[in-house]
A and B are shown apart, each in its own frame.
Chain A
């Protein structure tokens, strides 16, 4: 079955530590997205990538970094500069990349990040 796999499901970060969240898709989608969701709120865009080796900042990119070396993979690093990282992180992908605006986004099941 095609889909998006996020790992780990739960992650704990210590002070001063960088942590990396994994997102892999086998849908052959061009564009991928990272969102942050705080309790009882909607999704806010962190970073997105429309093609391999290219990515753009979203609305809340500070304290985060990404890479897109392969079409299937879009890992998110939460750096120590992100002072309030506790949240639910969701990865999504879409067919069509830049021209995928009329396609639905497909989501993974998220990673819940907490501070130790």
Chain B
């Protein structure tokens, strides 16, 4: 079953703008991960944030985690046309071992 839900489902912005995607989940988690998928390709891991962390950065990416609200956000700053892709959050619950549960994804389009 899918426990992650991304919001919005689709986002269209201009190059140079920031893009924010949100993810909500239902159960207690061990960690939350964000992945990117270019059209017709496999997923690429972007960032992992553990349940005891509140914020993490990687280059132009910033992820926050609020376990009290069971939500996370992914911010991409100074977006580029090459950032156009689908972005998925995925959770590892405290009882699932290494199993990931994926959300439905956000389709980001960055217009040149």
For B6, the closest partner residue in chain A by CB is A42
B33 touches A98 (CB 8 A): no
In-complex Cβ contact of A31 among B41, B90, B98, B102 (8 A): B98
A105 to B92, CA, bound (A): 11
A42 touches B43 (CB 8 A): no
Given contacts A42-B4, A97-B98, contact A104 B45 (CB under 8 A): yes
Interface membership of chain B positions 4-42, coded 1 if the CB is closer than 8 angstroms to chain A and 0 otherwise = 100000000000000000000000001101000000111
* Residues of chain A within 8 A of B107, CB atoms compared: 40
In-complex Cβ contact of B102 among A4, A43, A103, A109 (8 A): A43
Interface stretch, picked from A11-19, A44-52, A71-79, is A44-52
Shortest CB–CB separation between residue B34 and chain A, in angstroms? 10
For A108, the closest partner residue in chain B by CB is B42
How many residues on the A side are at the interface (Cβ–Cβ under 8 A)?
A: 35
Which B85-111 residues have C-beta < 8 A from chain A? 88, 90, 92, 96-105, 107
* Residues of chain B within 8 A of A108, CB atoms compared: 42
* Residues of chain A within 8 A of B92, CB atoms compared: 101-102
A44 to B105, CA, bound (A): 12
Shortest CB–CB separation between residue B90 and chain A, in angstroms? 8
* Residues of chain B within 8 A of A94, CB atoms compared: 98
A42 to B104, CA, bound (A): 4
A96 at the interface (CB under 8 A from B): yes
A1 at the interface (CB under 8 A from B): no
Given contacts A44-B2, A59-B1, contact A105 B102 (CB under 8 A): no
B88 touches A42 (CB 8 A): yes
User: Which of A42, A45, A92, A97: most chain B CB closer than 10 A?
Assistant: A42
A68 at the interface (CB under 8 A from B): no
Shortest CB–CB separation between residue A3 and chain B, in angstroms? 10
Shortest CB–CB separation between residue A18 and chain B, in angstroms? 24
A50 touches B102 (CB 8 A): no
- What are 5 sample pairs from A and B whose C-beta atoms fall under 8 A apart? A42-B102, A59-B1, A103-B98, A106-B45, A109-B42
